[in-house]
Amino acid sequence: MKKRTYLLVTVLALLCSGVLFAAGGAESAASKKDEGPVVISYYTWDDGSHKALIDTFNATHSHIQVNAQILPAADYETKLTTLLSGRADIDAFMEKRQSDMFGQYANGYLEPLDSYIKATGKPNEAVEAFKSSSVINGDIVVIPWRGGAYYTYYNKNVFKKAGVPTPDYYVERGEWTWEKFEEVSKAITAADSKLVGSTIYIWGGQGFFQAGQAGDSIVTPDGKIDSIENVVKQLEMRKRLEDVGAMWSLIDMKVTKLHYSKQFYDGNVGMLLIGEWFPGQMVVGAKDGLLAFDFEDWGITRLPCDQEEYVTVGLPTGNCITSYSKKKDAAFEFINWMSGPAGAAVAASYGVLPAAPGEAARAEIAKNLPKGNSIDYFLEPKRNNTANFSPYGTRVETEFATIQEDFLLGNMTVDQFRTKFTKTLNDIIKTTY
């Protein structure tokens, strides 16, 4: 009896341990049995336009099916890195933080796409439009599908209430500079203290608009510090605006987790400086009844700019193929489609600016933007600088965010900021190995 008990307990214990290993194998065993179309595993984050693109591709391509794996946007980069490290079943993925590509490339995770593009017989329009941010060490590693550009989104009602001309008035006269932006922000709040002149979101990269437009790199790809004066200029402007309540406090936004879309939806903010994906969020906001104003009561125009020739900032969003994928051809067909005219049309129907918008996309985008000159500014050809696109980019932006907060809290002078930020940049360069 005791021997039986001993054996039973031992067997149970081993079974429990065995279950830990067996579960992992079951899924892959099942998937091998699938026949029919080539099924590729594609990772992206939770966004309505991404789902629509995948569904449209699946409906129009019988020989390839995309099995979408959705990760929450907030944890996307972390989870993706963990999955790549574990060699998870990923054939292609969308790159959310573009500077991560340097580390992924160094670790051999990214499949160079030059030969695939060459096999199509023509250059990829989206890659050509954003060449500098699609190539690492001479290899094309990503195919952009969403264009990178920042704009000024403005609420017409707020400007009407404040009795101030809307930003496009100044753009048409060539007067839409950062000084004018500051002036207009203050005028809105001065007219009505319940109105906030403008908002720039909490991400570290949002502090580099002026630097990006001026062509500064902050830290060059080969590890040299570029000028930080434009960063200082923008930060000082931010502090002046926050001190009089004409710009939403960065720290308050961070602490309360107040999203920029909610700020704009609520109808008390005059201007929001954010990227090309925002019309999509406005479309969703309107559909969900979240807007405190009519859809026609907002507009899009250029980012404020001090340069002689207009230039915006922003990196494109693109797709990569994993080097260890066994279905690279199918994966390439999908990401190539997404960057082409058919994918662009679907993206545009969600208010998203495609990397290479064709005529069909332009017509779709126009349906999702307010009437007037917004479509012209949204789609006009423009130069696009990509500040902080380097192996140091992520750390520069995160460390800057912390020092920026110290400055905005009044804990340091401008000179102290310069000293601390420069020292931090030097530390980042020395400790990137």
**Which lies closer to another protein via its Cβ, residue 204 or residue 316?**
204
**Which lies closer to another protein via its Cβ, residue 251 or residue 363?**
251
CB 367 within 8 A of CB 404: no
**Which lies closer to another protein via its Cβ, residue 57 or residue 248?**
248
**Which lies closer to another protein via its Cβ, residue 14 or residue 131?**
14
**Which lies closer to another protein via its Cβ, residue 360 or residue 412?**
412
Distances (CA, A) of 66 to 70, 86, 188: 12, 21, 48
Contacts of 182 (CB under 8 A, 6+ apart): 237, 240, 241, 246
Q: CB burial class (10 A; 0-12, 13-18, 19+) of residue 183?
A: middle
User: CA-CA distance, 433 to 320, in Å (whole number)?
Assistant: 24
Min CB(300)–another protein separation in Å: 26
First-to-last C-alpha distance (Å) of the chain: 63
Min CB(140)–another protein separation in Å: 20
**Which lies closer to another protein via its Cβ, residue 104 or residue 133?**
104
CB 295 within 8 A of CB 286: yes
Min CB(158)–another protein separation in Å: 19
- Apex CA 246: angle with CA 240 and CA 248, to 5°? 95
The neighbouring-strand residues paired with 354 are 146
Min CB(119)–another protein separation in Å: 27
Helix axes 278-287, 48-60, angle to 10 degrees: 90
Min CB(7)–another protein separation in Å: 9
Min CB(298)–another protein separation in Å: 24
Nearest to 148 by CA among 341, 376, 342, 303: 303
Which three-class secondary structure state does DSSP give residue 10?
helix
* Footprint on this chain of another protein (rule: CB under 8 A): 2-3, 5-6, 9-10, 13-14, 16-17, 20, 74-75, 77-78, 81-82, 84-85, 100, 103-104, 106-109, 202-204, 249, 251-252, 254-257, 394-395, 398, 401-403, 405-406, 409, 411, 427, 431, 433
Task: Specify the DSSP class assigned to residue 419.
Answer: H
Min CB(232)–another protein separation in Å: 17
**Which lies closer to another protein via its Cβ, residue 183 or residue 405?**
405
